[in-house]
Amino acid sequence: MAPVVARLVSVSKPYLVPGKLLVKEYWFEVPLDHDDPKSKPIRLFARSAIRYERPIVESSEAVQKPYLVYLQGGPGGGNPAPQDSPLSGSMLDRGYELLFLDQRGTGLSSTVSANTLELIGGPQEQADYLKHFRADTLVKDYEAVRLYLTKDYPPEKKKWSTFGQSFGGMMTLTYLSFAPEGLRECFITGGLATLDKGPEEVYTATYRKVIERNEAYYKKFPEDIATVKFIAEKIRELGGEKGIPLPGGGFLTVQRLMTVGLNFGTHGGLDRVHNYIVRMKGDLDQFSMFTRCTLTELEHDNSWDTAPIYTVLHEPIWCYVPGIASRWAAERVGKTLDQYQWLRTDWAGPASLGDKPLFFSGEMIYPFHFETCAELIKLKETANILAEYDQWPPLYNIQQLAKNEVPVYAASYNDMYVDPDMARETASRIKGIKVFETNVLYHNAVRVRTEDVIPQLLKLRDDTID
């Protein structure tokens, strides 16, 4: 079957934003199911950006710059505006035109939420719909858009470059596996995920890194060993079994508090969590309760309610071939670990830990998210259906990666989210890849330490290794 070509719905006139960026907005349509081009159409939103130049002498000849497409992390995250992207400050001056295409279900592209999913039908219909929102389908969307945008280009400009952060790097591996003909070169940051290990193996490895980061946290803030447990006891006392009501409709439980450990994998994450603990302790000492400001900050700590794809489709990103169901793997693995007794239904509470600290979780999704997050409560049954589904299409073609001809440049970190040992194994299986590896940068380095990442990737691209 010939690949689908996206249908252009509209394109805006270019407009100028600070930083000398000339931006255009696009709306496209693609089928929900690329294997059935007549299936329900969905809309995709994109912005492009080039460096605005005002020459002394205007030229009547339009020059088409090669595209560099940003593949956002997540899954479930929308794109930043071009002027807010770390790529704009470095890649535009390299001669690229940047394209920020919101992945289906994220940003403005057929946004997934509890309310929009209600329009699809009940839990089973919602689950069937969301089965078309993994990387294997996202790559087909990108190819459909590429085929439209480059349809009148000369052959040497029909391919495009990609820059994949985190989940966007995993998407890159899928792209290289199944549609390498569309790629000129690929940049990956923090996204060299395992190619052939399922959810249990992945979480067994990532829990080890999360435990390391917890140990670093309590080494830096030893007073928090007692404080965190004190706060946890107060949450149980004030909220009972259901938890303390949050301003947005969710509930603060001990388990939900522990999820702020997701910050541990980022620059400044230890301090961010400590600030929450200081604020919560301060509230209790002064008022014997948590203030609305504190509860609001905790509720907004991660995008549980605003990016539901991140939760409902997070474990399925590790289901790399048919026959694998996630079945709440993070919870199952965590319950076997002494540090995560709080996942067990028979946990006696913080006091049972004695002098041991209460460990935070990392990038793990649990069933309790769908009992404590306002938006996710409505999707509990849908999430359970997806957790039991085991007929996911393949995500990677290892044989194709072994004979890869597309230049790939990657940055790999001392990463809490993507296990470094698994990343090395993946890199060893991609022909021609060049990797910059460091243990002094964390997962969000491309955003907060851009100057330490992008120049290294460009050295891999432009320099030689003897």
Active site residues: 166, 415, 443
**47: CB partners within 8 A, 6+ apart:** 23, 24, 25, 26, 79, 81, 82, 99, 100
CA pair distance 184, 173, nearest whole angstrom = 14
**27: CB partners within 8 A, 6+ apart:** 8, 9, 10, 11, 43, 44, 45
CA pair distance 416, 414, nearest whole angstrom = 7
CA distances from 462 to 92, 434, 449 (A): 16, 11, 21
CA distances from 104 to 25, 53, 308 (A): 16, 32, 13
Q: If you ran DSSP here, which 8-state letter would residue 425 be given?
A: H
Q: Are 284 and 231 in contact (CB under 8 A)?
A: yes
Q: Are 76 and 313 in contact (CB under 8 A)?
A: yes
Residue 242 one-letter amino acid = K
CA pair distance 289, 369, nearest whole angstrom = 23
**451: CB partners within 8 A, 6+ apart:** none
CA pair distance 5, 255, nearest whole angstrom = 45
Residue 380 one-letter amino acid = K
**111: CB partners within 8 A, 6+ apart:** 105
Residue 466 one-letter amino acid = D
Which residues, in sequence order, are bridge partners of residue 437? 412
Residue 367 tokens, joined: 């069933």
CA pair distance 423, 254, nearest whole angstrom = 32
Neighbours of 401 (CB within 10 A): 21
- Report which secondary-structure segment, H or E, holds 58: none
Neighbours of 73 (CB within 10 A): 24
SS3 of residue 332 by DSSP = helix
Is the peptide bond prior to 75 cis by the omega test (within 30 degrees of 0)? yes
Which residues, in sequence order, are bridge partners of residue 26? 11, 46
427: nearest Cα among 60, 147, 171, 173: 173
299: nearest Cα among 355, 226, 374: 374
